[in-house]
A = this chain, B = another copy of it.
Amino acid sequence: MKLLITGGAGFLGARLARRLLASGVLDGRAIDRLVLADLAAPADDLRSDPRVEVRVGTVLALAKALGEERFDGVFHLASAVSSECEANFELGMQSNLDSTRALLDALRAAGNVPKLVFSSSVAVFGSDPALPLPAVVRDDTLPTPQSSYGVQKFICEQLVADYTRKGFIDGRTARLMTVSVRPGRPNGAASSFLSGIIREPLAGLEAVCPVSPETEVALASPANTVAGLIAVFEAGRDAFGGRTALSLPALTVRVQDMLDALEKVGGSAARARVRFVPDPAIARIVGGWPARFESRRTAALGLTADANFESIVEQYLRESR
């Protein structure tokens, strides 16, 4: 089969590509070709695989040509991130909304009704002061996004659902949780510290935690996130349960639990490198995120959250060596 990953050079896209190439199979079919589309070319190990082809450019610019390739399956992960969308409204509308619509239209024009997984985000949930989020987010919880990124993702969820209902594609949306531990460097995201307070100390660097140790957050490891994307791709229409977006499973932990796991895996010296420096702005943003999820639909698909945060830290250590 012929697959496309948009955002295929990114952290999750590359990871998904490696996992697909290693198994060689998706949905019971051999993967003959894997096209990775992104703003930059992917890493050498991916480029050197004979099944991989690279397309460099924006999804908006590439959409028409991608449609003409008549893929059997698509993982649409490419996206501007939330801080970019908040700083530059037009960029977000173009990179997230217009790009997705152009891709859907191109896939529709191809006429072969490809399977498509769209990666939405837990950021569709926001706390509208007049309509606060319930303590536990369920399959039927109303998203009230409080960021342009969240709005754009939620809108694309609707498009994917309707293009699917119309029979233009066989689409499904998976809402990704905050992924921890992300490799790399701190970025401007409010969630950056949720990887940083583990990654930096394990690398011998100081890290700052801007929220209180009692703060609850919902996380997923990179491996579990990729497994969720694949499971959603492979799910039959009935098993997926309708066309409404599905929130991937999340592990609920307190920041204190994260630091306990850090100490257990990395030792007390690593733990000692994290200082608490309260940042009310970040605490307010993070406090508005949902921390608890219960989904009959993910359970029915056999998806489970990471077992505990210790295993997530171990996964990170194992893979960063």
**Chain A interface (Cβ < 8 Å from any Cβ of B):** 89, 128-131, 134, 139-146, 148, 151, 154-155, 158-159, 161-162, 165-166, 241-244, 297
Contact = CB atoms under 8 A, between A and B. Distances in A.
A144 B244 contact: yes
26 contacts: A128-B242, A129-B242, A130-B241, A130-B242, A130-B244, A130-B297, A131-B241, A131-B242, A131-B244, A134-B140, A140-B141, A140-B142, A141-B142, A142-B142, A142-B143, A142-B244, A144-B242, A144-B244, A145-B161, A145-B162, A146-B165, A148-B166, A151-B158, A151-B159, A151-B162, A154-B158
A154 B89 CA distance: 20
Nearest to A165: B146
Contact of A139 (B131, B139, B154, B166): B131
Contacts of A155: 155, 158-159
Question: How many identical subunits does the complex contain?
Answer: 2
A140 B166 CA distance: 27
Given A140-B142, A141-B142, 20 more contacts: A89-B166, A128-B242, A128-B243, A129-B242, A130-B241, A130-B244, A131-B139, A131-B140, A131-B242, A142-B142, A144-B243, A145-B162, A146-B165, A148-B162, A151-B158, A151-B159, A151-B162, A154-B158, A155-B155, A155-B158
A113 to B, nearest CB: 15
Contacts of A128: 242-244
A158 B128 CA distance: 13
A183 to B, nearest CB: 32
A153 to B, nearest CB: 10
A28 B9 CA distance: 56
A206 B81 CA distance: 59
Pick the most buried of A89, A148, A155, A244: most chain B CB atoms within 10 A of its CB. Answer: A155
A145 B166 contact: no
The 9 closest A-B pairs by CB, nearest first: A130-B242, A130-B241, A151-B162, A128-B242, A142-B142, A140-B142, A151-B158, A155-B155, A131-B242
Contacts of A142: 140-143, 244
Pick the most buried of A141, A146, A297: most chain B CB atoms within 10 A of its CB. Answer: A146
Contacts of A89: 166
A89 to B, nearest CB: 6
Contacts of A162: 145, 148, 151
